[in-house]
Amino acid sequence: MRITSLEDYHQQYQKSIENPAAFWDKIAQNFYWQKKWDSVYEADFEKAKFSWFKGAELNITENCLDRHVRKNPDKIAFHWEPNNPSEDSINITYQELQDRVCRFSYVLHEKGIGKGDRVCLYMPMIPELVVAMLACARIGAVHSIVFAGFSSKALENRINDAQCKLLITANSFYRGSKLISLKEICDVALENTPTIENVIVYRRTIEITPMQEGRDTFWFDELSKAYKECDPAVMNAEDPLFILYTSGSTGKPKGVVHTCGGYMVGTTYSFENVFQVDENDVYWCTADIGWITGHSYIVYGPLAFGATSVLFEGVPTYPDYRRFWQIVQKYQVSHFYTAPTAIRMLAKQGEKYVDAESLTSLKILGTVGEPINEEAWEWYNEVIGQRKCPILDTWWQTETGAIMISALADVTPNKPTFATLPLPGVLPALMDEDGKEIVFNGKEIQGNLCIKNPWPSMARTIWSDHERFKKVYFSTYKGKYFTGDGALRDADGNYRITGRVDDIIIISGHNLSTAPIENAINEIEIVGESAIVGYPDDIKGNALYAFISLKEGTSDEESIKKAILEKISQDIGAIAKPSKIQIVEDLPKTRSGKIMRRILRKIAAGERDFGDTSTLLNPDVVEKIKAKAIS
Ligand code: PRX
């Protein structure tokens, strides 16, 4: 499966495009299937229906666990590093992980969870999260992981959308120095989640947790009754493996559905080729498992490949800015994969926290989640990579399941701020405003990024809303998957992602849509209207600026701003809080009454030239807003 040279890459790429069925058939032979497929893939872009390895049967956990246990049971799957460095770290072998997964599978079974049932996981970055995910996959239940930074309302909405039967959580945990009372957040959500029958609570701290008799039980009490053996459920390649919610540009979050067979092949193939991990390497992806990066490149990809990874519970700033590099040294990390926002934040502290001695084990660096600016790229390359590590700028999405455009470590060349070349099996296209593909003419071209062919790890649908899936991804450009990103392609075929071209704003690598934030704000009694826009931020990449008009007769701006921040924390989560809130008399509108976000975006970015505003319904408000803009 491994591409070993630039020439090999070009050959493999060519093969994958000329005959995708033969190409992926061969790749898929490297996995353990209980039954092989009838067809490699079928695709209907019109209906947005895709299948990979149809007719095949497998269990992804046999590929992630059993087959490694048979060969190398004592290999470390995870070095778990707790939030607090004075607490003991834990090494978990493949054998131990398998035993724990099997025992917890039994617990799930005893709770009445079976194939196809949805289980919500709302947990910190502890080994039990991985155990719970894999136990779901083992018995064929569909996991829906909600990032433990989301609010109770967001949790409630996601549980209800997927109709989850079981919730698995922790009593509380520390993120840095902050105590997060997870179960209390759950309890608020649980008042409005009628489908939840049981709650399993992992006791991560000594904090007392209110438990509801008959519904809530502790993880350890459940496990004490469990057996170690659990045969893997036989899954069809196209059965759902998990649901993961991501922001929609309008309305409620989209429950992106990934299936068992294609996702396994796509994540493992990309993991092996992008990172080029060897037997004795130690790989560390710093993402949270609550996002797709954690699903694909902490859990499924590395485990199916058989890698040794670091799993970190904490944050880069606790106890201080040295933490990442101390962990690199402690485990002799060779492959380090993080987000540009973390790089910018650490770069801002200067070099006093980076001890070059601690970085000697590093061989490969990666980034994901947002465009990386030149300055951050250079710092990463010089200070962390000591100019000896390739930097893999990996472009992909929750919906793509696996990395789509990226350099392959030590195989294909790097270019600062460019994701570079598509992986085999990925055929990108850049589209113009009129919906036409921009023909490559030997010079740099720029447009909206689409993918022209199906690939194994692509999302199959949006949970219970296939129409929305079709509309969002497959109707803007006929016969193509539309990514929502803009990109340019240089004369050598390297891609650089320029950012979102829709209403989604990426803040510290988290996808946020402005519509639900505005909806939350508008529910506050005294708020008349609101408009949220993004503006560039040195560390977060983007930050949010809220323009708010109030109903008549309200004046205490400070308490209104406080109420807005509280409401957003409650409804969505702290990550959606605007950095700037400006109370305005009115919002600039077109004559048909639409808010002119283009102008607000310019004001937020500190620009002062708005072009002709005379066609606005209320041009005079622009000057007033500008005069009071927060810099
Ligand atoms: O805009 C792109 C940006 O993140 C979006 C996908 O976000 P999400 O589904 O949360 O997945 C993030 C982790 C894969 C993309 O549409 N993005 C992701 N990686 C990059 C990127 N933008 C630029 N460069 C990247 N390497």
- Kindly give the number of the ligand 1 atom that is closest to the alpha carbon of 394: 26
Pairwise CA distance, residues 352 & 176, whole Å:
20
Q: What are the tens digits of pLDDT across the range 159-201?
A: 999 999 999 999 999 999 999 999 999 999 999 999 999 999 9
CA of 501 to the centre of ligand 1 (A): 12
- Kindly give the number of the ligand 1 atom that is closest to the alpha carbon of 406: 26
Measured by CA distance, the residue closest to atom 14 of ligand 1 is 397
Q: What is the DSSP letter of 22?
A: H
In order of start, what are the domains of the chain with their CATH numbers?
A: 504-627 (3.30.300.30)
Q: What are the tens digits of pLDDT across the range 219-258?
A: 999 999 888 778 999 999 999 999 999 987 666 889 999 9
| Residue 80 dihedral angles phi and psi, to the nearest 5° | -95, 125
The reported pTM is 0.93
CA of 541 to the centre of ligand 1 (A): 12
Kindly state the percentage of the chain with pLDDT values over 90.
86
Q: Is the CB of 169 under 6 A from ligand 1?
A: no
CA of 506 to the centre of ligand 1 (A): 8
CA of 251 to the centre of ligand 1 (A): 20
* 222-236, 294-308, 575-589: range with highest mean pLDDT: 294-308
For residue 21, give the amino acid letter: A
Torsion of CA 210, 214, 216, 221, to 10 degrees: 110
CA of 395 to the centre of ligand 1 (A): 6
- Give the β-pairing of 308-312 and 282-285: parallel
- Please report how many Cα atoms fall inside a 13 Å half-sphere around the Cα of residue 141, on the Cβ side: 30
CA of 293 to the centre of ligand 1 (A): 10
Q: Which residue out of 393, 397, 507 has the highest number of ligand 1 atoms within 8 Å of its CB and is therefore the one to mutate?
A: 397
Q: Is the CB of 274 under 6 A from ligand 1?
A: no
Pairwise CA distance, residues 430 & 442, whole Å:
14
Mean pLDDT score of the chain, rounded to an integer?
95
Residue 589 has pLDDT above 90, yes or no: no
Q: What are the tens digits of pLDDT across the range 529-550?
A: 899 999 999 999 999 999 999 9
For range 363-387, the mean pLDDT? 95
Q: Is the CB of 419 under 6 A from ligand 1?
A: yes
The answer to whether the beta carbons of residues 168 and 146 sit under 8 Å apart is no
β-partners of residue 78 are 92, 309
CA of 511 to the centre of ligand 1 (A): 8
Which residue did the predictor score with more confidence, 223 or 556? 223
Q: Is the CB of 371 under 6 A from ligand 1?
A: yes
Q: Is the CB of 420 under 6 A from ligand 1?
A: no
- At 205 the pLDDT is 98
